[in-house]
Structure formats: C-alpha cells, structure tokens
Amino acid sequence: MNTRIKELRARYNLTQEELAKKVGVRRETIVFLEKGKYNPSLKLAHDVAKVLETTIEELFIFDDD
Amino acid sequence: MKFRKDRDILRLSSGALLLIIACGIMLGFTPDYSYFGIGFALLLMGIVAIVAIVVAAITPEEYLIQDERSAKVEEKAGYHAFCSLLLMMALLQAIGCIWGLNFNFKDVVPDLFIVGIWSWIMLRWYYNRRGDAR
C-alpha cells in the first residue's frame, strides 16, 4: 500500500506533527502511514483525507489498483 | 527539558505525597513498629509513584496520546505475551510430567511473572517498530 499523504501534506505546508495534532494521533502514526506500514481505521483514513481535502481513494493507493 | 505541570500531574503528585505522609505517620507515631510492613509498602509505593510521575511529566505530551495505533500495538502485544506465558506453563508442566519432577507452580510464579512482563515489553517494542501493513 502506498499513500499520497506526504505529497499532499507538503502542498498544504503541514508538518507531520501538525497533521497528527489535527487528526488526534501521535506523530509516529503519521510516519507509519506515510511509509505505508500501517493500515488505518476507516475513521482515521477519513479524518486524514478531510484535513488534506481529498478522498480516501485518492489518498491510499493499493498495489492491485 | 520541559516539566509539565498540568492538572493530572499535580493530582497524581499530591496522591504520591499523601502516601509518603501516611507512611511517615504510621512509622513515626507507632513506637513499637507494629505497622512497619504497611508503612514500608506505602513508602515504596509513594517513591515509585513519584518516579513514574516525574517520567510522565518530562515526556512530551504527544507521546502520551493513546491513539488507535498504540492501542492496537498494546492489545496485540498483550495477547501474544499471554499466549507465550500459557505456552511456557504448558512446557513446564510437560517437562515435569515427562521427567517425573515434583513440580509446584507456586515456586515458579515470580519467574513466570517476569517472563510475562518481559514478553509484553519486548513485543510492544517490536510491534511498535514493525507496523502492521501487509
């Protein structure tokens, strides 16, 4: 699984810490999400997508897509 | 190093201080040391609590947030630590039966406790590093 979190975060000039604060998780969780090493819950995926003004489908890219 | 002074830290610190004061009263006002055991236990609890509070107060707040990932990691580590403890007990029982050792579980409870705590700590560290995406 790949994500576009890093790219979109840079577009909105957000640091990992700021994004983590906005969605109410630890910075480590954002690091793991960006590396594609963590499967978030639907709620967290939705929250991150909302902060980055995108959709879940655009944010998370699965290898079989 | 920033020392946080929020309400939770202050509340817990006053609780720990109360424990130490209670210990002082117990040990100071009972000349025959009849409450020595309880007093000593309270003192120890107070000291451990103060050390834990100091560690929590100097840890940045973001590391203390219990988010879904940390909750998942702890749950998984706890489950696997419990499984390893059960496996260890089953192995000990089997060894005791095969070699005919007169085995008493009461004698190994402290060792099992240490194995359980260590498994949990190590597994938590491992799952925290590894991530869970396949």
Within an 8 Å CB–CB cutoff, is residue A26 touching chain B? Answer: yes
Among the ranges given (A4-8, B14-18, B27-31, B95-99), the one the predictor scored with the smallest mean pLDDT: B27-31
**Inter-chain CB proximity A38 and B130 less than 8 Å:** no
Helices A42-51 and A16-23, axial angle in degrees (round to 10): 120
Q: Show residues of chain A in contact with B67, CB under 8 Å.
A: 24-26, 29
Q: Please tell me the predicted confidence (pLDDT) of residue A61.
A: 86
Residue that the structure tokens 């402290």 belong to: B110
**Inter-chain CB proximity B65 and A39 less than 8 Å:** no
Q: Domain span at residue A25?
A: 2-61
- Nearest by Cα to A56 from A20, A64, B90, A48: A48
Q: Please tell me the predicted confidence (pLDDT) of residue B78.
A: 94
Q: Which two tokens stand for residue B100?
A: 């005919």
Tell me: ipTM over 0.85: no
Q: Give the nearest partner residue to B62 out of A1, A26, A35, using CB atoms.
A: A26
Structural domain count of chain A? 1
What is the least distance, in Å, from the CA of A57 to any CA of chain B? 17
Say whether A61 sits in a helix, a strand or coil. strand
How many residues are recorded in chain B? 134
Query: In the structure, what pLDDT confidence band is assigned to residue A65 with cuts at 50, 70 and 90?
Result: low
Tell me which amino acid residue A28 is.
E
Question: Taking the model in full, what pTM does it have?
Answer: 0.67
Q: Where residue A43 sits, what CATH number does that domain have? A: 1.10.260.40
What mean pLDDT is predicted for residues B79-104?
87
Higher pLDDT: B1 or A9? It is: A9
**Inter-chain CB proximity B68 and A32 less than 8 Å:** no
pLDDT in tens, A10-63: 999 999 999 999 999 988 899 999 998 899 999 999 999 999 999 999 888 887
pLDDT in tens, B32-82: 777 777 788 888 888 889 998 888 888 877 777 788 998 999 999 999 999
Q: Please tell me the predicted confidence (pLDDT) of residue B134.
A: 56
What are the beta bridge partners of residue A3? A60
Cα distance between residue B36 and residue B27, in whole Å = 6
Interface of B with A (CB under 8 A): 62-63, 65, 67-70, 128, 130-133
Tell me which amino acid residue B59 is.
T
Q: Please tell me the predicted confidence (pLDDT) of residue B67.
A: 87
Q: Show residues of chain B in contact with A20, CB under 8 Å.
A: 62
